Amino acid sequence: MAKIGTVWVVLVSLMALGYGQRLIRLGNEGLSPYYGSGFPSLSADGRVVVSDYHVRLTYRNHPALWTYQDGWWYLKADGGLTRDPREAIWGYAYDVSYDGSVVLGKELYGDPRNPSGRPFRWRRGVGMEYLPFPPGTYRAVGLKISWDGGWVAGAAAFRVDTGEDWWLVRWSPTGQTELINLMGSVEDFSASGREILDRCNFFQSAFWREGWGIRCSLPFSSFGGLSGDGRVAVGVALHPEGWSGLARWFPDEDRYEPVPANMRFSPGIHLVSFDGRVMLLWGSERDRNWEPVRDLALLWEEGRGWSDLNEVYPQFFRNTPVDYVYDLSGDGRYILVMPILLGLAILDRFGIQGDVDGDDCVDDADLLMVLFRFGRGYSPEDVNVDGIVDEQDLLMVLSRFGECRE
């Protein structure tokens, strides 16, 4: 990691300690025994996680939602929540609105051995709304949702002689569809729902904006993350001026800015904050022959450069390094990670250790949450992440009692 800059890693670590930080393991409270899970998403405010779980009891996948206070709950078609998977929606969860009140997914129905699927938008306390297939298409999927839960980006397929022809599609808050002549990969979606990052072809990324049209990236360039304001894309560029590698693309100006990491790095996950000033990449460091050396989660901040997530937060990841990163909150504060042996967890980069309910103050509510969970396993109340809620966690809350983040 010396290539990234040992001095900078040390400085970032000291700065992080000054702010304080928390690691919240999500655990399995509320879930029935399951075989596996889907790809989880973090709400842009960093307080809600959605995923889907293949439950042993039903032998089906069911969308589920996690919050700090209540753990996991399955989604019901009427907009309610349940701990009984037999009452839950059968299907998958793909994305979630800013505050976690709207979930985007796909419902399965029909023959369990060969089910059909239809995209839905689920609103807490309201219910499930099916998103219609665009005219002429025979199947569709919604993949990303705007922060307010109104706009949806996805893909729809036409039948053709050679099989299928997939297009990008956008659903409006009222369910109207708009087909866009792109590949329908939906790499990312802006907070407002007015910008989409997709692909022009297999060798070029595409940026689309409502009322503006399409701009293709440089050839042999690939961008996978879009800032919430729709102004910055993150990925890899091959630039005619002679440089290649990690880059930011500013589609409005069609300008490319290198962000060298001083290593050969091949990203698989691209995450970016609302303003484009924080990036998180997960991928593989490569040797001179481009053979994989190790997987890395790299954090980049404008004006500060790159750092290895495991080295910046050794108190959490020294013995249980990050195996995967899934999502980043809009302000770049919260990161949804998968440390080895710990399962899903949220890293709060600037939180207060002991702030169990995540309201940025350590107070009576946090003490009560620890007391009521005494003796249980991993959960937000397990402040020191040692696998059990006990007197050590209580002491840690007491030691920071009365502190609030400004």
**String of DSSP letters for 127-194:** EEEEPPPPTT-SEEEEEEE-TTS--EEEEEEEEETTEEEEEEEEE-TT--EEEESS-----EE-SSSS
pLDDT value of position 379? 66
Band of residue 199 on the pLDDT scale cut at 50, 70, 90? very high
Which is more confident, 260 or 278? 278
Band of residue 7 on the pLDDT scale cut at 50, 70, 90? very low
Band of residue 224 on the pLDDT scale cut at 50, 70, 90? very high
User: CA–CA separation, 71 vs 38, rounded Å?
Assistant: 17
Q: Are 79 and 126 in contact (CB under 8 A)?
A: yes
Mean pLDDT of the chain: 89
- Show the tokens assigned to 219: 């050839």
Band of residue 388 on the pLDDT scale cut at 50, 70, 90? confident
Average pLDDT for 182-187: 98
- Show the tokens assigned to 6: 């040992």
Average pLDDT for 65-70: 92
Compute CA distances 260 → 104, 235, 248, 280, 345, whole Å: 35, 11, 10, 14, 28
Instruction: List the beta bridge partners of residue 266.
Output: 284
Average pLDDT for 38-53: 96
Over the Cα atoms of the chain, what is R_g?
Answer: 22
Sheet holding 22-25, edge to edge: 22-25, 345-348, 334-339, 322-328
pLDDT value of position 17? 39
Q: Which of 18-27, 56-65, 142-151 has the weakest average pLDDT?
A: 18-27
pLDDT value of position 377? 67
Band of residue 1 on the pLDDT scale cut at 50, 70, 90? very low
Average pLDDT for 204-222: 97
CB atoms closer than 10 angstroms to residue 248: 24
Q: Are 249 and 233 in contact (CB under 8 A)?
A: yes
What percent of the chain stands above pLDDT 90? 65
Q: Which of 69-78, 168-177, 249-258, 304-313 has the weakest average pLDDT?
A: 304-313
pLDDT value of position 394? 81
pLDDT value of position 78? 98
What percent of the chain stands above pLDDT 70? 92
Q: Which of 14-23, 100-109, 266-275 has the weakest average pLDDT?
A: 14-23
Q: Say yes or no to pLDDT of 294 above 50.
A: yes
pLDDT value of position 10? 37
Band of residue 12 on the pLDDT scale cut at 50, 70, 90? very low
What 3-state class would DSSP assign to 14?
Answer: helix
Q: Which residue has the tokens 């502190």?
A: 403
Q: What is the pLDDT of residues 343-385, one digit of tens each?
A: 999 999 886 767 777 777 888 887 888 887 787 765 677 777 6
pLDDT value of position 20? 59
